[in-house]
Chain A
């Protein structure tokens, strides 16, 4: 969680230099969802995400140097500079891809789960998406198919209360979004997404259910978007936000809450937490230095990788 926060704060610091020439969608304030979800997954489980992709990339175990190099558009980036912030990828860690079209990886994750069932590889696929994605038809089409075929998939709905600048209540009569799939035979559950340990526990149970063949699972995690939809700004003063939300966000900061919980309930030493913070800062420093020093793609890379080469017959 801290790596996500510190990395994104570093992105904010670097951004005015124009070294990251790509839109960034930050997860500041939402880290507990990605952290709890990904920690519950096996490294071999497959995750499919969205353009708000830094948090899940880091939480799923993507290489931090590869992420910063990608944000810088460098050849050493996780997508060789072709994808940028919205399209982080780490197949070696189980992050299969992130898309900037809302809801578009929900069916892809569902097909990934279909393949796992056909191949009996023991994987669970996870579709990670926001509350805006549940507006799209492919969510319902995908859930219908997953229920029909009892696929090993967990649908993770990260509800940060806004689709760009649109509230859930402006888009849905039924604002308890986890209920929207009930007619298709999928009962969702809603949990506090700012409590990393609760996310981890509920996600672990969801993964276990999906893995044992009991069909798909839908988990809705409630959180707050701490920044603008895209970009660096804190935009709590804008009219689209619920009043007093900034105070709520500060009060419920999931990282501070987890740290306090670790000390109080789990006997963690403050010294140990400080050490973690130091290690994270050093790791982020190293990743930024790596990105700064890495080379841009050669001009001929523009035309590379449109198609994968066809193997000889």
Chain B
């Protein structure tokens, strides 16, 4: 056991895998530059050479297809996107090609591809540099999707993704890169289908992913001061989803609040709310509530941007409303983060 930051934990996983498997390589805009994708690829080009760690032309569509083709011919590419927004340019290759190759050809071939994509909370990055678009990829059969929250999960799921014979997309929330946590030594893979119980409670279940799980834990601390016991469940892997852990909590508390870093419409929160309504209806004592980013494009102006995102305070207010309690005068800490732009 040792303590690493989230970005360092990813880097250690990459080194661990690349030292053991010569077919693993890393490509993407900026993976070999001095910024090194929040430090997660720092010095890897020096360690493994330019053939295994390389920058790419700004051609997300073709580069994704190139990663798929390399995967089909015996390699294990890790394609890195410093902004998840760029994945829109790769939708054809991800959804029409990578997701379908195994099924469409009767299981004859598979695509062992890893995609890393950083999602926001914005620091003025605005409309096209901060989106949390995980739900798009949950919709298409054939893609595995995860949002690691802790350094151990970032490391363990990276190793699992590399070992997986299928395409896997890992969304990394930008505000998590500097968070520290324990990781196993040596690194160990974590099997997909994981919902982590971040905090146990009995009055209300808050299902929240990635940075929203961090904010939900702050909200839960505040709720405790009001005598409310909140359970926080983090659906770390979205595909496959650990339904049982979520449903067990809902059955225990009878109250469900879902928080997502993306939009609510057709999103992660919609899926989890539907899951609870379909499979734990009898246990629900109150209507399900959910929150995500406001149903608008992310604005830059600070007060608007602040209002765009859920935070510990809005999460606590929703939980109180779910319980039929007043949410006036909430003394919940506002967002605390050391993150500053511009990069």
Seen from chain A, the residues whose Cβ lies within 8 Å of a Cβ on chain B are: 46, 48, 77-83, 87, 89, 91, 96-97, 99, 101, 104-116, 118-119, 121, 123, 125, 137-138, 141-142, 144-145, 148, 304-311, 313
Contact = CB atoms under 8 A, between A and B. Distances in A.
Interface in B52-73: 56-57, 59, 61-73
Interface string B66-94: 11111111110100000000000000110
A311 B165 contact: yes
Contact of A108 (B59, B69, B192): B69
Contacts of B192: 310
Interface in B82-130: 92-93, 96-97, 101-110
B102 A307 contact: yes
Which 8 A-B pairs have CB atoms at the shortest separation, nearest pair first? A111-B69, A107-B65, A80-B106, A141-B62, A111-B66, A141-B59, A115-B73, A305-B107
B51 interface: yes
Contacts of B235: none
Given A110-B62, A118-B51, A305 B69 contact: no
Interface residues of B, number: 45
Contact of B96 (A99, A109, A112, A118): A99
A116 B73 contact: yes
Contact of B61 (A99, A125, A138, A311): A138
A118 B109 CA distance: 20
A313 B67 contact: no
Given A101-B96, A114-B70, 4 more contacts: A82-B104, A99-B97, A105-B65, A106-B62
A82 B101 CA distance: 11
A94 to B, nearest CB: 11
B109 A96 contact: yes
Contact of B73 (A46, A304, A305, A313): A46
Contact of B105 (A79, A118, A148): A79
Interface in B20-67: 23, 25, 51, 56-57, 59, 61-67
B166 A138 contact: no
Contacts of A111: 65-73, 77
